[in-house]
Amino acid sequence: MIGEFIDQENLVASRSAIKEIFFLSSRSGAKLSGSEKEIFFQIWAGYYLDILPAQTLVFKTNLGKVVGYLTGCYNSIAALGLYKNLFYYRAFETYYSQYPTHFHVNCHPDFRNKGIGGALVEEFVQNSAKQGATGVHLVTGSSARNHRFYQSHEFYHKATKGFSSGDLVLLGRKCSA
Ligand SMILES: CC(C)(COP(=O)(O)OP(=O)(O)OC[C@H]1O[C@@H](n2cnc3c(N)ncnc32)[C@H](O)[C@@H]1OP(=O)(O)O)[C@@H](O)C(=O)NCCC(=O)NCCS
């Protein structure tokens, strides 16, 4: 079952489940400890939970366990905290007028390949369209395993930018009216 993060009965428990999934899904984050680990989480996920809690979705099992989440942002141009903290954010900004909303999605490793990630993405695209957005984008590694997943949800390559840590790509999908 999909719900908005802001509507969760127990926000502290939901946040901690999201944090666990986040670090199970992030190779670079898993290597960190202490305050570095906290800062890393805050930059990539905590910002969305704190500032955009109604734009973030969680997937819960029938038993109420959070097993997947999608941190979303309906207005990428207005997300000043992301400009400040996400190293790649400004590099792709010319695409934000065409693809104003963006997201990051992760599922618990024990609950992948069950359609949960896909359901979260489709819900966010629908929500974005309801907000009047013309398109949705995401940024991922140019050689990440997830390209086929995104392609099956109609996200296509729009731009590549090079960074010292490797190339990143912006994948975009137009919203239908
Ligand atoms: C990518 C991800 C969100 C997809 O969610 P999901 O619930 O597993 O996906 P669905 O069941 O809806 O769809 C299955 C697709 O996901 C792909 N997938 C499964 N595990 C994956 C993984 N670890 N990394 C990338 N893609 C994966 C499958 O290959 C499948 O694609 P296919 O049908 O073309 O073979 C999820 O697998 C995940 O959290 N992966 C690791 C973190 C990640 O890559 N997040 C995206 C960051 S931009």
Which pLDDT score, from 0 to 100, does residue 177 have? 61
**CB of residue 149 inside a 6 A radius of ligand 1:** yes
We report the CATH number of the domain holding residue 167 as 3.40.630.30
Q: Which residue has the tokens 């099992």?
A: 61
Mean pLDDT for each 10-residue chunk of the chain (177 residues)?
95 97 91 93 96 96 96 96 94 97 98 98 97 97 94 97 95 90
| Structural domain for 13, as ranges | 2-174
Q: Cα torsion at 83, 89, 94, 100 (round to 10°)?
A: -80
* Model confidence, pTM: 0.95
Domain total of the chain: 1
As a whole number of Å, the CA-based R_g of the chain is: 15
Q: Which residue has the tokens 């929500």?
A: 127
Chain mean position to CA 128: 13
CA of 65 to the centre of ligand 1 (A): 19
**CB of residue 21 inside a 6 A radius of ligand 1:** no
CA of 112 to the centre of ligand 1 (A): 6
Rounded Cα gap, residues 108 and 83, in angstroms:
28
Q: Which of ligand 1's atoms lies nearest the C-alpha of 106?
A: 39
Which pLDDT score, from 0 to 100, does residue 140 have? 96
**CB of residue 114 inside a 6 A radius of ligand 1:** yes
Which pLDDT score, from 0 to 100, does residue 27 have? 85
